[in-house]
Amino acid sequence: MCQWRVNRMPSAARMRLLVLLADDSEPFRRRVRDHLNKTPDFKPVGEAVNGVECIRLARQLRPDVVVMDVLMPDLNGIEATRQIKSEFPSIEVIALSMHGDEGFRHAMLEAGASTYLLKDNVLHKLPRVLHSIAAARVTPVLDNAAES
């Protein structure tokens, strides 16, 4: 008999990924938020315009995922990612950038981001990445007692 073990009960109990958006462009945040709201699997729970606000909202809202722009005012996405991952290792960070520069990509992944997406195709790729994160949070476990 196969049962399912949930790696993080609050996420599985609500069956939706809670997503915090961090980007200094309000029109871009709105486009991503509206796109995510079309899918019942994701719930945007907050929006930050800079890294300082993102860290504050991550502490307050405890999202499952932060979608983080690399270049923001006050505190960039690289340092904000480093601080969030240090304080909340279970929060996944998805890096976003307009720049395909390997240096930004490397810095974000080194800071703890799970993946790096270019903004020009984020609406296409982000739902797939989020579904992958959700799938990784639930793992099958064999119930040996049931087989005896």
In this structure, what is the dihedral angle of CA atoms 71, 76, 79, 80, given to the nearest 10 degrees?
-100
Residues of the chain with pLDDT under 70: 1-15, 138-148
Query: What CATH number does residue 66 fall under?
Result: 3.40.50.2300
Question: Residue 3: what pLDDT?
Answer: 41
The model's pTM: 0.83
How many domains is the chain partitioned into structurally?
1
Task: Confirm if 119 and 128 have CB atoms less than 8 A apart.
Answer: no
pLDDT of residue 36: 97
Structural domain of residue 72, as residue ranges?
2-137
What tokens were used for 95? Answer: 């890096």
The enclosing H or E element of 56 equals helix 51-61
Signed CA dihedral, 7, 9, 14, 20: sign only: negative
